[in-house]
Each structure stands twice: as C-alpha cells, then as structure tokens.
C-alpha cells in the first residue's frame, strides 16, 4: 500500500477522527501531518508568499498555510524511501476503491513527478 499522508489542523480534531474512521473502513493507514495554520503565521511569514511583480497571485493566510502544509508532506516524501506517496487533506472524499488504486503503481506514468487524483 502506498504511504498516505493526511494534512490536519491541530484545531480540527473532529476532522481527524472522521478521516480515521474513513481510512479504517477502507483498510488504509495514514500518517498525520500537522497542518500549518495560516492564521498563526507572522505578518513577515505571510509577506514572503504574497504577490510581487513576478507572482501576480494574492494568497490568503489559509492558502499560504495549505501550501506550506503540502510542502511539509513533499519534504517528508523526498526524505523517505517510498517510491510513491499519496497526500490527502482532511476533507477528502475517498471512493470505495481507493485502497485498491493506492495498492498499485502501474497506473502512474513513468515520467510523472506529481499525479493529481480527483473527480468532479
């Protein structure tokens, strides 16, 4: 099974509890990654991620925290020995075949660095 990281804010234990039930019902495990809470970032830290002439985007504190949380997962994945990992936010909706999909890697293109799995 592919290692799964679950991003979760410390102030959202109910989401963690819900996701633990969901993952367990699918026979999956996860490693919790404490999310970076954008509300708690200093003004200086938020300023690092706001737009400049080269980056025209205005990120909210929450979006900055979300990005930094994903970056924590990417760093953990890069430092680990797994060839593939899955990163989830704590509001993900997993399909009934999620465990089956994440138990294999043959569907991942050989030249892919990142694969975004979602449906609308």
Q: Which helix (H) or strand (E) holds 4?
A: strand 3-8
Query: Given this model, what pLDDT does residue 75 score?
Result: 96
Is 86 within a domain? yes
Structural domain count of the chain: 1
Residue 85 lies in a domain: yes
> Which pLDDT value is given to residue 120?
67
Which of 118, 101, 91 has its CA nearest to residue 19?
91
In a domain, 97, yes or no: yes
pLDDT less than 70: residues of the chain: 51-56, 120
Residue 36 falls within a domain, yes or no? yes
Give me the pLDDT at residue 45, please: 86
In a domain, 50, yes or no: yes
What is the rounded radius of gyration, in angstroms, for the C-alpha atoms of the chain?
A: 16
E strands in the chain: 3-8, 31-34, 85-89
**Where are the extended beta strands (E) located within 42-92?**
85-89
Which domain covers residue 96, as residue numbers? 3-102
In this prediction, residue 49 carries a pLDDT of 79
Supply the pLDDT for residue 51.
64
pTM confidence score: 0.87
In a domain, 118, yes or no: no
């Amino acid at each position: 099974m592919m290692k799964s990281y679950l991003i979760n804010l410390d102030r959202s234990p109910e989401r963690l509890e819900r996701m633990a039930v969901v993952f367990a019902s699918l026979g999956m495990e996860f490693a919790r990654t404490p999310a970076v809470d954008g509300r708690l970032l200093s003004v200086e830290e938020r300023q690092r991620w706001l737009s400049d002439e080269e980056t025209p985007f205005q990120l909210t504190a929450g979006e900055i925290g979300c990005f930094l949380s994903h970056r924590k997962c990417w760093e953990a994945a890069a430092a680990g020995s797994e060839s593939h990992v899955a990163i989830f936010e704590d509001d993900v909706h997993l399909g009934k075949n999620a465990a089956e999909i994440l138990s294999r890697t043959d569907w991942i293109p050989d030249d892919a660095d990142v694969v975004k799995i979602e449906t609308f």
